[in-house]
Amino acid sequence: MKKTLLGFLSLWSAGLFAQNSYDLVYKTLNTKCSNGSCHSATSSGSSLQFDGSSTAVYNALVNVVPQNAAAAARKDKYLRMNQPYESYLLRKCGGWFDTDLALEANEGNPMQDINGNNLSDKEIEYIRQWVMNGAKKTGVTIDTARINAYYNDPNKTPFLNKPFKPAGVKRLRFGPVFLPPAGSANTEMEYLLKYKVDFDDNVEVSQIDGFMNSESHHLLLFKYQDSASAASMPEGLRIVSLTGGTTSFDGNKDLTGAWQDDAEIHLPAGTAIFWDKNTVLDFNYHLKNYNNPGVLPCDFYLNIAYKPRPINTSTIEMKSALINNATLFLLPGQQTKYYNDNSNGKNETRHIWMMSSHTHKFGTYFDIHKKDNAKPNQLGDTLYKGNFDYATNFDKGFYDWEHPSIKYFVPQVPVNMKTEGIRIVTKWNVTQAAPVTFGFTTADEMQLFYYMYTNELANPTGLSTIKDEQSIDLLVYPNPTSSKATIAINAVEVDELTITLTDIQGKVITTLHPTVTKGLNEVELNTSTLNLNAGLYLVKATGHHFNKESKLIIE
């Protein structure tokens, strides 16, 4: 039954934000897509109708497997709660609008309205936001006024450029979410969103690359411990708020990855993150519109490299720990606080592979140590220096709370959680008159750190496939050092190398002439015999097939 557009057009002057969100989606489909050509475009051989009642259309769409075999094989639903990019109907409507909504082979033709036109960008966005907010039948779940403001702005900020997606990886996307203009209310938001991954098998994840807007504060990726734990959490976007009762850590879940900037996490050889085929993730995305004068769209992308996990796998599981001081209370002025890993005393050894820290704007110092009961403040060997930029091997002299350093340990560092454990020391300078407590906005504070570890040592030589923070072509470790270092070289051919150690003025300190074989090699550098002053040095290796350099810090 063909409908007129009068009912739909009247919506624009009726106060859209107050309208039940599904009603808007239903009327779009019911008014614009109720004819035979739309039915056949929705799915080959489909009997799906949009001119039925609101309830009938909802029941035919939400979490229903498409009749199209190709769409069903990729585990789409017509409209899948929380996941617009696994919603076949949305992809039928919106491929022209966003390439993440594009159709694949054998999925039929794009769907247009009864006049042969595409749905408008705002109509597609309404449906996308409604799906991401849980595809709920009742309630106002999308802010149409904010969507209108974005799409009506001739100078609107573009979406985040889509990162490259290598062949064979699984792409997940959280977004877009829209923040109001700088200076408005709610320019800083933190969201949670469940995401069912749907692998064909239990898998071993060897690499997770994360990409985000520059306005992003962090993304924490949690994994629910079981399906019942995931089912206990609401569908759709959940807004994090201490006063509202929703926290970043709600639910029975474990940390499985964390990003504070773009980062490619390549796990060491022989290790992987273990995800079951029915894994449900929980995205925790914190972002703020600092100074953009218009509505700001924000996205987060994950590229996941994986393979099926054998029943008797020899791969060692990479685990994660997130330690948070939820009782934090800070008075005005400069303060120092110590805090222990809550896993201290556990009868296991953790081989630390990655570590990072987190405070908000008053944080000025953050060091992580092994715990030592023989010392007054129980601080043993230093594991992590918050002032040190491990990506560039440079001591910045201050703690960059907005972009805290990430440290990778090659080789992994063992910590006996029974006899040692981990203890941190953090400093703040509270420059306001009122005390500051733990909280989720940048006006509150945190004393939080996280790390990735294995309970077995997967690679005793310490050589790994780290790509993001340290080169696998030429890697110097430990770094910083005070006595000796190892130069790890990944050679493409047998080669005769010249390795030089120079100071920052270019003066040659020492030269080595090793012969390397194809693959991973180690060359020892005994710095203790060179009488080096503390500071920055350069290591350069050249040969017929090799030309790389790195930095070395002498303490």
Q: How confident is the model at residue 48 (pLDDT cuts 50, 70, 90)?
A: low
Each residue of 10-24: pLDDT tens digit? 333 334 445 799 999
Q: Could you tell me where in the chain the CATH 2.60.120 domains are found?
A: 170-316, 320-454
In CATH, which of 1.10.1660, 2.20.28, 2.40.50, 2.60.120 is domain 170-316? 2.60.120
Each residue of 159-182: pLDDT tens digit? 999 999 888 899 999 999 999 999
Q: Does domain 320-454 have CATH number 2.60.120?
A: yes
Residue 434: count of CB within 10 angstroms of its CB: 8
Strand runs (DSSP E) across 372-443, as ranges? 379-385, 388-389, 394-395, 406-416, 422-430, 436-437
Between residues 230 and 114, the one the model is more confident about: 230
Phi and psi dihedrals of 257, rounded to 5?
A: 175, 160
Of residues 323, 313, 318, the one with CA closest to residue 343: 323
d(CA 185, CA 179): 9
Each residue of 424-479: pLDDT tens digit? 999 999 999 999 999 888 889 999 999 999 998 865 444 443 333 344 578 887 77
Tell me, what amino acid is at 15?
G
Rg of the chain (C-alpha set)? 27
Per-residue three-class SS string for 233-295: CCCCCEECECCCCECCCCCCEEEEEEECCCEEEECCCCEEEEECCCCEEEEEEEEECCCCCCC
Q: CA distances (Å), 206 to each of 115, 274, 488, 530, 548, in order?
A: 48, 9, 21, 39, 26
What confidence score (pLDDT) does residue 394 get? 84
Would the CA dihedral through 390, 285, 222, 274 be positive or negative?
negative
Q: How confident is the model at residue 7 (pLDDT cuts 50, 70, 90)?
A: very low
d(CA 210, CA 173): 10
Secondary structure of residue 369 in the 3-state scheme:
strand
Map tokens 């019942």 to a residue. 228
Antiparallel, parallel or unpaired: β 271-275 and 216-224: unpaired
Q: Could you tell me where in the chain the CATH 2.60.40.2550 domains are found?
A: 474-554
Find the DSSP H helices in 154-251.
Answer: 227-231
What confidence score (pLDDT) does residue 472 get? 56
What confidence score (pLDDT) does residue 403 get? 84
Angle, vertex CA 290, rays to CA 288 and CA 291, nearest 5: 145
Q: Is the pLDDT of residue 326 over 70?
A: yes
What confidence score (pLDDT) does residue 241 get? 81
d(CA 512, CA 486): 13
Each residue of 54-109: pLDDT tens digit? 999 999 999 999 999 999 999 999 999 999 999 999 999 998 999 999 999 999 98
- Please state, rounded to an integer, the average pLDDT across all residues of the chain: 86
In CATH, which of 2.60.40.2550, 2.60.40.1170, 1.10.357.10, 3.40.720.10 is domain 474-554? 2.60.40.2550
Would the CA dihedral through 208, 214, 218, 221 be positive or negative?
negative
Phi and psi dihedrals of 145, rounded to 5?
A: -65, -40
Each residue of 379-435: pLDDT tens digit? 889 999 999 988 788 888 899 998 898 999 988 999 999 989 999 999 999 999 999
Tell me the average pLDDT across 284-312.
Answer: 93
Biggest distance spanned by C-alpha atoms of the chain: 89
